[in-house]
Amino acid sequence: MTRAVSALGAILIALSMSAACAHGRERTASPLRGPMPPELQQVIDNGLPLTGPHVEFEGDLAIPPTLRGVPTTSTVTLQTTPGPHPPVEQTRQMMRAAAVDQPRVKAALGSRFALLAGGWLEPEKGRESAPADDRYQMVFYNYSDNRVVTVISSPRGEVIDVQSRSPKVQPPESAEEIEAAAAIVRRDDRYAAATRTLRVRGIQTEGRGDHRTLYLTFYEPNRRRAVYEATVDMTAGTVLSARALQ
């Protein structure tokens, strides 16, 4: 017992001496912060440049940042200074209407198609661009030929480029395409009565061969649980299966 206590005491003394030595040594000074990167300094001086709406910060750049003209309360809706482009959905519909009216776009889209995505392209890095140089890209799906069609337009809706390709991987669905699939279900006399007043959600799913296929779920208003489901072959324009859910 005496030997055990002596050994413990020796360990404690050694630890105390080690701590004292460490305390006596000078600590290495932390490196000073270098100069502010020019990109960050430009953000502090001029605000944050965005494609579309322009957001500016108030005072020094801090975390979380304070937006200029917006009180610091969570109940206030963010107000941004309008940019050079109309709102997203308005732009999408305007560009879509202008594109599908062009002969070479019509030829690439075929008789049955849907818009899957659309948005302004980011300018090339290191290159300054004016609003007139902006490019808007739309991605369509041609159901007749099972091809993805990409259209590039100018801000005035002039078609600059049209590319058509067979997809190696099916692109994601869009709200327009989901509604088109729901319309196919509702036109079918077997399912029209059950789905006419229901809301719909959908997702692209695996189909037969290269056929583009969507899986849909239907909901009653203000209800989270689906009451009906359907699988739609968008290439053929037919309902593969549909049934009520318990």
Tens digit of each residue's pLDDT (9 = 90 or more) over 185-241: 999 999 999 999 999 999 999 998 889 999 999 999 888 899 999 999 999 999 999
Cut 0.75: pTM above it: no
Topology, domain 175-244: Nuclear Transport Factor 2; Chain: A, (3.10.450)
Tokens of 124: 């090339």
Chain centroid to CA 77? 21
Shared fold status for 88-165 and 175-244: yes
Domain ranges of the chain: 88-165, 175-244
Q: What angle do CA 161, 163, 168 make, to 5 degrees?
A: 150
Q: What architecture is domain 88-165?
A: Roll (3.10)
Tokens of 48: 């944050």
CB-side exposure of 12: number of CA atoms within 13 Å? 6
Tens digit of each residue's pLDDT (9 = 90 or more) over 78-125: 333 344 566 788 888 899 999 999 999 999 999 999 999 999 998 777
DSSP secondary structure code for residue 226 in this structure: E
